Each structure stands twice: as structure tokens, then as C-alpha cells.
Chain A
Amino acid sequence: MATRRQGDPTAANDPVIEMHNARVTYDDGETFVLDDVSMAIERSEVVGVVGESGSGKSMFASAMLDAIPDPGRLSGDIRYHKADGTTIDVLELDQEELRQFRWEEVAMVFQGAMSSFNPTMKVEGHFRETLKAHDTHVTEGMEFARELLTDLYLDPERVLDSYPHELSGGMQQRALIALSLVLEPNVLVMDEPTAALDLLMQRSILMLLQELQEKYDLTMVFITHDLPLVAALADRMAVMYAFSLIEVAPRDQLVGNSGHPYTRALLNSTPNLDAPLEEMRAIEGQSPAPVNVPSGCSYAPRCPLATDECRADDPGFYDSGSEHSTACHHWEQARETIDLNFEAGDGDSTGSDTETES
């Protein structure tokens, strides 16, 4: 396997988080929900992690913060490089260190803000409590909180003086993003942060995240099942299937010139406004459950290109372009034979060979 690993998603110039062989198991190792995942997150980049329900994408997010729900067990090596050059071994932190690490270095936002807020406490109380718990100057911290809320197109006085239920879903989620940033973390990990909202609010929040990223030079990891949504924000994208990463590439490459048959099927299954209707189609078959992941390539049972090689030998990452890693034996063939049903845009020269209309 090591000989094939030319396309390496762990290669990075200035990584902020490096994850090696992260593995999450339940039932005493019987059930894998994250299977040997390695990836580096570059400082100040926005990474979109895409996967269907049950692909292990939330485990990927939780693993970065050593926040796997009990009784799951996380193994592997996760390192965090602070801005001052020192390195933290995340899995070695004790409870108190972990608590500080999670808010002050890496913050996390989940979907459904309502369940993250205490319903009996005004929004201001949440900010004050967070600042106090981390021994930060409350007055200065509240000044920054107001600035963050304004950045998110919210009226700070009104929002701080409201109970969570008095705000709309979109406002709650934006207030939660402001709260997660109040201790000035370097990395923001978001797990489906916009999932319960209507599309217009989702897109608006994405636009605001982009502004925040530029203003505060944040590193962002955005996890979602919605590939087109995160494509608007991400610099680099990673696709998960059956608890493993299967393709990692810069956004334009992943959208316009992906090498994995699953990524291409995922792109083609997405309803959009411009593609001809008859070319949008669902992916045949179902993703595997954590207990019986097939041997060999886990996508082989659904893959139109699968051969005996795929069923016998689980593909490692191939180098399929600049910074582009694809875990498929037939990535070249996939590009040639699986057409994409949308115009990826002419700015992308390498995408031209995919647009041979049949």
C-alpha cells in the first residue's frame, strides 16, 4: 500500500491539524465508523468534507477535537500546531487541557443551534459564561462579541437581550457561530451548521462565513452532505464514503475533474438549475453499514467500473493531479467514461476531457 501512496492528502506546507490513521471503533473494535483516515488541514484554508448520512463524516469532525461520543474509541495520531510554532498531541491532553483546547484553539459548531443553547438563559448570558469559564476579560470579550454579531448581520443589542427561542433559526445559528468565535480560536469546525435552515439562509450564512474567514484569517472545516453548497465556500474538498476518505482535491479539481466514480456520481445526482433534467440521476444501490463494509474497495458493489482487482484490493490514494488524491484503481478511466452533467466552467482546462457529450 505504501508504494502506491503518491497522492498523499497528508502533504501540507503549513498544517494546522495533522491527522494520521484516525480510527473510531464501537463494540470492542467490531464496528468501524472511521477507518484509518489521514489528512492534513492547511493553515487558513477552508476544507469542505462531503459525505452521505452514515459515511462517517461527523466522526471525522469529532476526531479532530477528540470528542467522539462514548463508548466509541479513537486511536491514531492527531496533532495540532499552534500559531507560535508549538505542537499539541491532541489525544494526550487531559480533561482540563482538552476543554481549553476546544474553545480557545479549535471551536466547533453543530447543526441545530436550539440544542446548543440553554433555553432559559439569554444569549448574552451564554457569551458571559463562556468568557468567564476561560478566564477572559469579560468587558473586552463582550465588545468583541458585539463586533462578531455585527459581522454576522445581527443587531447585537437585540440579540444579546433575547432568549434563544425568540430568534429565528437563521439568527440562532449565526449567534452560535459568533459564540464559537468569541475566544478567538484559530480553527472553526462546523458539522452541518446550516442543515435545518432554508436554502436562502444557508447561502447567506456561507457568504458571511467567507467574510469572517477573510477578516479573522480562520481555518475552517465544513462538514456536510450537500456538495454543491460547500463548493461555494471551500478551497479544498474531501469526499468520504463508507467511513474512509476516497478523494481529496482543490475545489475546482474536485468539481470539474474528479477521479473517483463515487464523486462523479454524487455530482451528477444533485438537482440544479442548469443541467438537462434527464441527465440528473440517482446513485444505484446503498452505502454499506458499519458492520459489513465489503473487502476491497467499499464502493465496488455500486461502481460501474469495478473489476476483480477492486473487489480484492482496497485502493490506496493515487496521485491524480496536483494536490489531487483519488482512492480508485480506475481514476483515469472514470474521468474518460463517466460524463458530468453540468458545465464546470471554461476556466478549468483539465476539465475539458470530461465534457465529451455522448
Chain B
Amino acid sequence: MSQTDHVADTATQTDSDEPLIALENAEVHFEKEQGMLDFFEDPEIVKAVDGISLDIEENDVLALVGESGCGKSTLGKATIGLQRPTAGTVRYRGQDIWAAKDGRGDVEIPFDEIRSSLQIIHQDPGSSLNPNQRILEILSRPISLTHPNAGRAERRERIYSLLERVGMNPAPDFADRYPHQLSGGEQQRVALSRALLMNPDLILADEAISALDVSLRVEMMDLMLDLQDDFDTSFVFISHDLSNARYFAEHGNGRIGVMYLGEIVELGPAEQLIAEPAHPYTNVLRWATPDLSLDAAGASEPPMRKIDIPDPVNPPSGCRFHTRCPEAREACRESQPALTGEPAAHRTACFRSQPDHEYWDSAPLED
């Protein structure tokens, strides 16, 4: 591992008790695009992320799961400083990321340094790699940013050893190719290598394995977890597939966060959340996860009342899941459950986890 050691040698900040990333009441609200005719009307607001607080530690793994449009990608981007929150703060080792960007207050860690410590791999590696550059050029760029004094030969040597590390042998052959000459899995390995060459503290893997064949996903997740050990990075892993989230988070001793319409509705250690889901929505995601045991293999009725997710422009009152929740009662329409439980433990935003809540005395909702 001598090559990887000297690649990782600049990750030296070991500042104390501050979490790597701390989100506090982060909100990202988008104005929906308007046509000319709507010009004088109030813009419609989509609350992609609505008041989320979350800490990510060194060498941490957090898997975010939820349906399309639940805000998990936006939350991920806010976490790595790619998306400015419309309210609340995002801190990197105690430094407010957007204060650093704007030069507000005492900036202890410059924005450029923060940005390069927080990297992303996208779902579609084909469109995130420059089609006109060979792999060698694509991977030279991050080295020249992190090690401006590295010579040509040194860069090349590093790239070859990393390509070998991610399983692309023979490395000189792959380094000489263009992205379109690689398979989807190989392109994703290049994207991962490029992120790692920045010596990041955190990598956001945004549906990074969703476009791969089911049979290739375990291999890619294993690779990411192996490299996490070598490079000392944290991962935020976004997926709509609970079984992938489980595989990644359980292997990395991490947590799973379940998102619904801009909020986290359940957050806990991967193993516990899968074994004992506390939120009815987590249960729905469990139902949606294919199961090979034949007793459960039939397409049974889903544990929810409606198939389609509500419009995020006008999210339902009270608990946002009440319009689909099979357990919903009047109380759920009226007030919103908070994410409760001891910090760091298994938390859930559902009245059903509170034995003495008025929920238990209110009438079930009928459609």
C-alpha cells in the first residue's frame, strides 16, 4: 500500500471534537421555474431539504435512501458544499462553508480547501468524464492541483498504481483510452479514482451504482469500501435501493437515513434500521426491496394507501407521509412529528414511537 500512503499524506488535519461536517437546520428551497405568463404571481416553492440537522464524522458512512424527488441528492450536495442552503448552516470542521465562500467573519479554512476535500461521484460516469481526454489526462488534473510540483513521470506512476488498485489492469493500456472505450463499471472506477486523487475527507456517491447491472453493484461497493480504508475518507452514499444502502452502510459500520419529501424520517445504525424499522415509510421501502425467499416473492399489496408521492410544491400538512401511510390517524394530519430519540442512536419521526402520544386516541384516516 506504499503508493496509496503517499497519495493520502496531505490529509493531516486532525482537529479534535468538531465533526467533519455538521448540518444545522439546513434548508434548500427552490423556486419553481416560471413561464412568462406567471410573471406576476408568487413563485411556487419546492422544499427539497427542509430543516435537517446531521453530523458526519471522520471515516463515517451515511446512506441516504428515499424515492425520486425526496430531496436526497439535494441534501447530499448541501453536505459537500455544492448547494448553498437557503437557511441554516453547513460546517466543515467547524468552519461555516458558505461564510468561507463569502469571506464573512474569521475564515479559518479557505473555501477552495473545503471544496477540494469534499468530492462527488455521479450516477452517470459517462457524462461526468470529458469525452475528448484520455484517462491519463483526466486523472492528471487532480494531481496537478494537489501536488503542483509533481513531475510528469511521478504523475504517471501514481495514476498507474491507482488504476491497478481499482482493478483496471493493465493500467498503461487503460490510461491511454478515451472514456467511451470503457464499460460503465470502468468509467465509474475512473470517476472514483479522480475523486480519490483529491485526497478528499468525504465523497458523495450520488446513485453511483444505480446505472450498473445488479450483478456488478456488489463489486463496485466492495471497491469503494476497500478504498475507504486505504484513503481515510467518509462516504455519503445515496440510493433508492434499501438493499444497496444496507450493504454499503452495514459494511462500513455506518448509518442509514430515510428521507421523505425533504425531511429525514428515520435515522439509525444500518443493521438496527433494517432489522427493526420504526417508521411506516421505512417499512414501505422494505416492501419495495426484492426478496428472493419464495414465500415473500409474490407481488403483494404495498403497505401504503397511494402509489404516487405528493407534489413537493404543496406537501401535506402535519406528517408529510400521512396521505399514504397505512397507520395514519387524525393527529398525523394536524401536527408534525419531530425526529426523536437520543442523538446518535436510532431516531424516528413518527408518533407511533411515543407510547403516550395523543395519536393513539385519535381516529384513523379514511380515504
Contacts of B306 in A (CB 8 A): 153
For residue A228, CB closer than 8 A to chain B, the reply is yes
Query: Closest CB of chain A to B254's CB: distance in Å?
Result: 13
Q: Give CA–CA (A225, B246) in the complex, Å.
A: 20
The answer on a CB contact under 8 Å between A169 and B214 is no
Q: Give CA–CA (A199, B215) in the complex, Å.
A: 16
For residue A53, CB closer than 8 A to chain B, the reply is yes
Known A52-B213, A207-B299, A282-B216; judge A273-B292 contact (CB<8 A): no
Residue of A52, A201, A272, A344 touching B289 (CB-CB under 8 A): A272
B51-69 vs A, Cβ < 8 Å mask (1 yes, 0 no): 0000000000000000111
A133-159 vs B, Cβ < 8 Å mask (1 yes, 0 no): 000000000000000000001000000
For residue A323, CB closer than 8 A to chain B, the reply is no
For A169, the closest partner residue in chain B by CB is: B68
How many residues from A make CB contacts under 8 Å with B? 53
For residue A68, CB closer than 8 A to chain B, the reply is no
The answer on a CB contact under 8 Å between B215 and A282 is yes
Q: Give CA–CA (A280, B290) in the complex, Å.
A: 15
Contacts of B216 in A (CB 8 A): 52, 282
The answer on a CB contact under 8 Å between A273 and B67 is no
Known A53-B213, A168-B68, A197-B68; judge A281-B218 contact (CB<8 A): yes
The answer on a CB contact under 8 Å between A198 and B299 is no
B264-305 vs A, Cβ < 8 Å mask (1 yes, 0 no): 000000000010000000001111111111111111111000
The answer on a CB contact under 8 Å between A228 and B302 is no
Q: Give CA–CA (A169, B294) in the complex, Å.
A: 30
Residue of A153, A210, A273, A346 touching B243 (CB-CB under 8 A): A273
Known A53-B184, A168-B69, A207-B302; judge A256-B294 contact (CB<8 A): yes
The answer on a CB contact under 8 Å between B290 and A231 is yes
For residue A98, CB closer than 8 A to chain B, the reply is no
Q: Give CA–CA (A210, B246) in the complex, Å.
A: 28
If A209-B299, A273-B274, A342-B293 are given as contacts, then 20 extra A-B residue pairs at C-beta distance below 8 Å, sorted by A number, are: A52-B216, A53-B213, A153-B306, A199-B288, A200-B288, A203-B299, A207-B300, A207-B301, A207-B302, A226-B290, A232-B291, A267-B292, A270-B215, A271-B217, A271-B243, A271-B247, A272-B290, A274-B293, A277-B250, A342-B292
**Interface residues, chain B, CB within 8 Å of chain A?**
67-69, 183-184, 213-219, 221-222, 240-244, 246-247, 250-251, 274, 284-302, 306-309
Of the A-B pairs whose beta carbons lie under 8 Å apart in the complex, a sample of 5, sorted by A's number, is: A269-B218, A273-B274, A277-B247, A280-B218, A346-B295
Across the A-B interface, give the 8 residue pairs with the lowest CB-CB distance, nearest first. A228-B290, A282-B219, A345-B294, A198-B240, A203-B288, A200-B288, A271-B243, A207-B299
